[in-house]
Amino acid sequence: MGHTEKRSVAEFYRDYETTIENHIGNPDSEIFDGVRAILIGNKIKLGQAVTEQERLYWEQGMSNR
C-alpha cells in the first residue's frame, strides 16, 4: 500500500473550493455548470448582488430542470 496523506476537513474543502473557482469561469467545463448555478442561487437567496448575466444564467438553469 502507498502512503496516504492525511488532511484536515478544512484543508480538503479549501482545495475543493479552489478547484471549483478555477473551473467555474470556464464555459467548456460542463461538470461545473450546476455548481455555478447553485452558487448564483445562493447569492440570490442571501440577498447578495448578482449581475444581470448571472441572473439570466441561473434562470436558464432553473428552466432546464
Give this prediction's pTM: 0.50
Q: Which pLDDT score is estimated for 50?
A: 95
Give the H/E segment covering residue 48: none
pLDDT for residue 64: 63
Q: Which residue has the higher pLDDT, 44 or 1?
A: 44
pLDDT digits (tens, 9 = 90+) for 9-60: 889 888 888 887 777 677 677 666 777 788 899 999 999 999 999 999 888 8
Q: Are the beta carbons of 32 and 26 closer than 8 angstroms?
A: yes
Q: C-alpha distances in angstroms, 14 versus 6, 33, 37? A: 14, 20, 20
Characterise 5 by phi-psi region: left (phi > 0), alpha (psi -120 to 50), beta (else).
beta
Residue 3: C-alpha distances to residues 6, 10, 12, 43 (Å): 9, 21, 17, 40
